[in-house]
Structure 1
Amino acid sequence: METKIFDQSQLNEAAAILAEGGLVAFPTETVYGLGASALLPNAVAQVYQVKGRPSDNPLIVHIAEPEQLEPFVDNKHPFADKLMETFWPGPLTLIFSIKKDSLPSIVTGGLSTAAFRMPNNTKTLALIKQAQQPLVGPSANTSGKPSPTSAAHVQHDLAGKIAGILDDGVTQIGVESTVLDLSDPTAPPVILRPGAISKEQLEAVLQTKVLVDQHLVTESEAPKAPGMKYKHYAPNTNVMMVNDQDWSAAMAWAKEQQLKVGVLAGPTIAEQVRFEAAAIYLFFDDSVEAATKGLFAGLRALDESIAELDILFAPTFPESGLGAAYMNRLKKAANQSFFQEN
């Protein structure tokens, strides 16, 4: 199968493929999604097959306007409208209890709930409208590997397996949306996956406490939302997290072990390790925003480096605000492994 790159002028062609049950990857503000009609079980089955994704892992349904929820959701949480008014379109996914049989069970992972989001990307919103149906959109990559933040990443993983890719350059945020569980209208909202919309932002809008589910789902458990597995987003090369004060010790340990080290870092750390590292992926500055935007691209670039690296070191950040989303992805990419000096 030829995988075609679509631009703005070819939205009609891409939408027609989706409406007929084909797969087209699309851009969002977070990462690229692998699009298929959420109403066609055979199309959704292809998504699982192409990604190599476990079928118990539910998919997020992408819509172009809040009104598209109506066929699926009838008992909304009292906070739902406020959240949609404030954060949609944007990187917030909401989980609702849905009407029986309103979505194919292959979309929901067999659950009585489903996740919905309205992405902040004008091309993709237009694509959903032209397809005239909601789209599933898990990250457009091989399951478990770093998510794609450019059309080139999608092409690397899925060329020849899907009909097309709607190209809109590099994504703005770089990690997947915040997932908020609103499935019980009588219960407080619960963050199942952190993202760019932080706990603090949600609480400021809702004027109430928002809970955070810290549970890590093992391979034998069925997650309620994507990205909850214990290990996820991982390249083939082992990843290790390094705290600010430990870089010198970490590089010395790697040298002693005769390991070829790749480093993801901003300019300050990069300057500190530049003589010891075999390869460096440089974030555009030292901020958590830069690290978040560059994390998946950096993991991919170093994993595929001609230097044939033995280990990847990545910096840590405080787990508040966007740092919670960054550390959530990094911990799973590193299989929870921190460098610790003996």
Structure 2
Amino acid sequence: MTADVFQTAVSAMHRGGVVAYPTEAVWGLGCDPWQQTAVEEILKLKQRPMEKGLIMVAADISQIEPLLKSVTAEQLTQLKASWPGPVTWLIPDPENWVPQWVKGEHSAVAIRISDHPVVTKLCRLIGKPIISTSANLAGEPELKTEQAVRQQFGDKLDAVVSGERGNQTKPSQIRDLITNQILR
């Protein structure tokens, strides 16, 4: 994988574009969460209602520092024990660090620290967390190959970062940090 592919993807995200890339279990669509038009484009591509909210991924815990101000030491230990890895946590966002168009109807943020090399490199290069939602139409099966993503979304994507999916067989588990309830 050449650095040019990553630079093309990061430049696209800086411009408000949508990129596709492999994740731990499926192919994902991503963009800069702080660019509303980019988030709206992902929702349009997926035919997904904004109210549901979207997941964000980060390269490491330092990229989500503003969210950690409101968590207890015990909760922080719990987060660190599951990351990096395939667990997405709903973390309270009392200071509204993350825009509402990402959270949907929720007050918490769905976020994961990825251990997938493509995802972590994208987050490091852009310098912050990115949106990471499965590359599929809402209600349809997740796409698991680059070819399937290109067939489904074609020229509607601003960049595609080739690579291998990780070894997970299903999308990340989602847990609520406050209740510890498993939601998916």
TM-score normalised by length of structure 2:
0.91
Which residue in the other structure is 2:42 paired with?
Answer: 47
Amino acid of the structure 2 residue aligned with 1:191: I
Match of residue 138, structure 1, among 133, 143, 146: 133
Taking the aligned partners of 1:179 and 1:108, their CA distance within structure 2 comes to 14
Post-superposition offset of 1:82: 2.4
Which residue in the other structure is 1:60 paired with?
Answer: 55
Amino acid of the structure 2 residue aligned with 1:120: D
Match of residue 80, structure 2, among 69, 74, 85: 85
Taking the aligned partners of 1:17 and 1:64, their CA distance within structure 2 comes to 19
Query: Is the CA contact 1:19–1:133 (under 8 Å) kept in the aligned structure 2?
Result: no
Post-superposition offset of 1:189: 0.8
1:326-337 matches, cutoff 5 A: none
Match of residue 167, structure 2, among 161, 164, 172: 172
Match of residue 25, structure 2, among 25, 30, 41: 30
Q: Partner of 1:100: helix, strand, or coil?
A: coil
Taking the aligned partners of 2:150 and 2:70, their CA distance within structure 1 comes to 40
Structure 2 portions without partners, runs of 5+:
none
Amino acid of the structure 2 residue aligned with 1:179: I
Q: Partner of 1:148: helix, strand, or coil?
A: coil
Match of residue 128, structure 1, among 105, 109, 123: 123
Taking the aligned partners of 1:156 and 1:174, their CA distance within structure 2 comes to 22
Taking the aligned partners of 2:158 and 2:62, their CA distance within structure 1 comes to 29
Confirm or deny that 1:192 pairs with 2:183.
yes
Post-superposition offset of 1:79: 3.7
Amino acid of the structure 2 residue aligned with 1:66: I
Query: Is the CA contact 2:23–2:165 (under 8 Å) kept in the aligned structure 1?
Result: no
> Counting helix residues as a fraction of each chain, which structure ranks higher?
2
Taking the aligned partners of 2:117 and 2:22, their CA distance within structure 1 comes to 9
1:4-19 matches, cutoff 5 A: 7-9=1-3, 10-19=5-14
Q: Partner of 1:149: helix, strand, or coil?
A: coil
Post-superposition offset of 1:54: 1.3
Q: Partner of 1:160: helix, strand, or coil?
A: helix
Query: Is the CA contact 1:71–1:102 (under 8 Å) kept in the aligned structure 2?
Result: yes
Match of residue 74, structure 1, among 63, 69, 75: 69
Which residue in the other structure is 1:156 paired with?
Answer: 151
Query: Is the CA contact 2:68–2:76 (under 8 Å) kept in the aligned structure 1?
Result: no
Taking the aligned partners of 1:85 and 1:8, their CA distance within structure 2 comes to 31
Which residue in the other structure is 1:294 paired with?
Answer: none
**Bigger CA drift: 16-25 or 75-84?**
75-84
Q: Which has the higher contact order (CA 8 A, sep 6+)?
A: 2
Post-superposition offset of 1:77: 4.5
Match of residue 106, structure 2, among 111, 124, 127: 111
Structure 1 portions without partners, runs of 5+:
1-6, 194-342
Q: Partner of 2:171: helix, strand, or coil?
A: coil
Query: Is the CA contact 1:63–1:117 (under 8 Å) kept in the aligned structure 2?
Result: yes
Query: Is the CA contact 2:25–2:144 (under 8 Å) kept in the aligned structure 1?
Result: yes
The structure with the largest alpha-carbon Rg is 1
Taking the aligned partners of 1:132 and 1:148, their CA distance within structure 2 comes to 27
Go from structure 1 to structure 2 and tell me whether the alpha carbon gap of 1:157 and 1:174 turns closer, same or farther (over 3 Å shift).
Answer: farther
Taking the aligned partners of 1:79 and 1:50, their CA distance within structure 2 comes to 39
Count of paired positions = 183
TM-score normalised by length of structure 1:
0.51
Taking the aligned partners of 1:71 and 1:37, their CA distance within structure 2 comes to 17
Aligned-residue identity in percent: 27
Superimposed CA distance per residue, residues 234-266 of structure 1 (whole angstroms, 9 cap, x where no aligned partner): xxxxxxxxxxxxxxxxxxxxxxxxxxxxxxxxx
Which residue in the other structure is 1:224 paired with?
Answer: none
Post-superposition offset of 1:101: 2.9
